[in-house]
């Protein structure tokens, strides 16, 4: 079975949509990233349009976090390129165009920082060297906290929030920042269904206003509920299309099937990495 490897926004366009083609917010061309001998991404081509919510799925170690880091300019590609609204990713990040909502385990929840201060970090790129907070920074943070429904909890230490509230605090940071692109790494892990629905409504609102949203998730069943399009990743893109296309059994077998626990290295032991190879 040949994998679908379009990787293009064109593929995600609804049938019959003859609207003029938009300029992608994110354009990734032939991107490969290695950590020593480990191939994390291998020839990834992907374009994401403004105003779309894209689900990113793939097994552990398939390269999702590396893809996020590449979009943020936090890893150096071995080859290929990433362009964010025509800019180099590091420059786009320093200009506040991209915002990241980290996985829960990547955050020190004991750190003495309030919800308001987390949101204020989204303003750092706009402040001067001394980071003097201006009235427009306060206004942007207040407005962002209101938007995510955390005004009443603004002065609470970040660790003293529920899982869903913690995610909303980081989304508030992205809103305060005025980011055009929001990357969310496993935002629904440890979050109840009601909080998940609240976050999704918020993300839909942001997408309707032109924000590009890329969400990694292991909750495959939730994907069709929120994703305008989906990417199935296994070091390279197996599918970029609708959620239903990404969830076809034969595609899932390629991405999550035999050999899934084997390390994906440049020189896998015999039999390991067969799924990835099959997808080539
Ligand atoms: N700093 C690093 N040094 C060496 N190898 C790394 C490093 N970071 C990631 N890797 C490896 O690169 C591959 C891709 O990892 P990555 O974290 O991007 O996957 P992932 O899809 O986000 O995984 P998960 O679902 O477990 O978060 C894995 O084989 C991983 O072990």
- Ligand 1: distance of its center to the CA of 40 in Å? 6
Identify the helix (H) or strand (E) that includes residue 83: strand 79-84
User: Could you give the C-alpha distances from 215 to 126, 134, 212, 227, 266, in angstroms and in order?
Assistant: 26, 32, 10, 9, 27
Alpha-carbon span 158 to 189, nearest angstrom: 17
- 245 Cα–ligand 1 center, Å: 25
* Bigger pLDDT: 216 vs 11: 216
**Which of 37, 65, 74 most suits a substitution to test ligand 1, by most atoms within 8 Å of the C-beta?**
65
Atom of ligand 1 nearest to the CA of 233: 21
Q: What is the pLDDT of residue 273?
A: 36
CATH number at residue 110: 3.40.50.300
Q: Which residue has the tokens 């924000």?
A: 211
User: Which numbered atom of ligand 1 lies nearest the CA of 69?
Assistant: 18
Grade residue 105 by pLDDT with cuts at 50, 70 and 90.
Answer: confident
pLDDT digits (tens, 9 = 90+) for 36-73: 999 999 999 999 999 999 999 999 999 999 999 999 99
157 class by beta-carbon count within 10 Å (0-12 exposed, 13-18 middle, 19+ buried): middle
Nearest-angstrom CA–CA distance, 178 and 139: 12
Is there a domain that residue 15 lies in? no
Domains identified in the chain, total number: 1
What are the two backbone dihedrals, phi and then psi, of residue 213, each rounded to the nearest 5 degrees? -120, 125
Within a domain: 195: yes
| Residue 5 is assigned to a structural domain of this protein | no
Which residue's CA is the nearest one to ligand 1's atom 2? Answer: 35
Kindly state whether residue 89 falls inside one of the protein's structural domains. yes
Long-range contacts, 238-241 (Cβ 8 Å, 24+): 238/3, 238/4, 238/5, 238/279, 239/3, 239/4, 239/5, 240/4, 240/5, 240/6, 240/7, 240/8, 240/11, 240/12, 240/46, 241/4, 241/6, 241/11, 241/12
Q: Which of 133, 77, 57, 67 is nearest to 100 (CA)?
A: 67
CA–centroid distance, 66 to ligand 1, in Å, is: 7
How far, in Å, from the CA of 264 to the mean position of ligand 1?
10
Strands across the sheet containing 229-234: 98-101, 181-185, 212-216, 53-57, 229-234, 236-241
In a domain, 233, yes or no: yes
Name the least confident of 47-51, 87-91, 107-111, 272-276. Answer: 272-276
Mean pLDDT of the chain: 84
Global pTM reads 0.84
The closest of 43, 107, 49 to 70, measured between CA atoms, is: 43
Pocket test for ligand 1, best of 37, 38, 105, 183 (most atoms within 8 A of CB): 38
The pLDDT > 90 percentage for the chain reads 62
- Which residue(s) pair with 81 in the sheet? 29
Domain membership of residue 90 (yes or no) is: yes
Task: Go through 69-88 and write b for each residue having 16 or more CB atoms within 10 A of its CB, e for each that does not.
Answer: bbbbbebebeebebbbbebe
Mark out the alpha helices in the chain (DSSP H runs). Answer: 9-12, 64-72, 89-94, 115-121, 135-147, 163-177, 193-208, 223-226, 243-246, 249-256, 274-279
Atom of ligand 1 nearest to the CA of 65: 22
Tell whether 6 is covered by a domain. Answer: no
Q: 247: domain range?
A: 22-279
186 located within any domain? yes
Q: Which atom of ligand 1 is nearest to the CA of 235?
A: 14
**Nearest by Cα to 237 from 32, 50, 82, 93:** 32
Cα(39) to ligand 1 centroid in Å equals: 9
- What gap in Å lies between CA 99 and CA 183, rounded to an integer? 6
Q: Is the pLDDT of residue 232 over 90?
A: yes
CA 235 – ligand 1 centroid, Å: 10
Give the binding-site residues of ligand 1, using a 6 Å CB cut-off.
Answer: 35, 38, 40, 58, 60-66, 264
């Amino acid at each position: 079975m040949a994998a679908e490897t379009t990787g293009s926004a064109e593929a995600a366009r609804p049938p019959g949509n003859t609207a003029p083609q938009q300029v992608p917010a994110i354009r990734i061309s032939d991107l490969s990233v290695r950590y020593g001998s480990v191939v994390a991404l291998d020839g990834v081509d992907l374009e994401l349009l403004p105003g779309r919510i894209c689900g990113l799925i793939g097994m552990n170690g398939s390269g999702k976090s590396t893809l996020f880091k590449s979009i943020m300019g936090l890893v150096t590609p071995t080859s290929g390129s990433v362009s964010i609204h025509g800019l180099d990713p590091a420059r786009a990040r320093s200009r506040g165009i991209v915002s990241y909502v980290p996985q829960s385990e990547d955050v020190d929840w004991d750190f003495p920082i309030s919800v308001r201060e987390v949101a204020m970090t989204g303003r750092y790129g706009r402040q001067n060297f001394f980071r003097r907070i201006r009235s427009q920074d306060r206004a942007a943070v207040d407005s962002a906290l209101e938007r995510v429904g955390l005004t009443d909890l603004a002065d609470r230490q970040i660790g003293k929030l529920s899982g869903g509230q913690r995610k909303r605090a980081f989304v508030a940071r992205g809103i305060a920042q005025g980011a055009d692109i929001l990357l969310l790494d496993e935002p629904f892990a440890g979050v109840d269904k009601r909080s998940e629905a609240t976050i999704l409504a918020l993300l839909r609102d942001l997408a309707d206003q032109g924000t590009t949203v890329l969400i990694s998730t292991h909750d495959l069943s939730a994907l069709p509920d929120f994703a305008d399009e989906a990417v199935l990743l296994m070091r390279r893109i197996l599918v970029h299309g609708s959620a239903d296309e990404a969830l076809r059994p034969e595609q899932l077998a390629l991405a999550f099937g035999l050999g899934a626990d084997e390390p994906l290295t440049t020189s896998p032991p015999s039999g390991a990495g067969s799924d990835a190879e099959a997808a080539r």
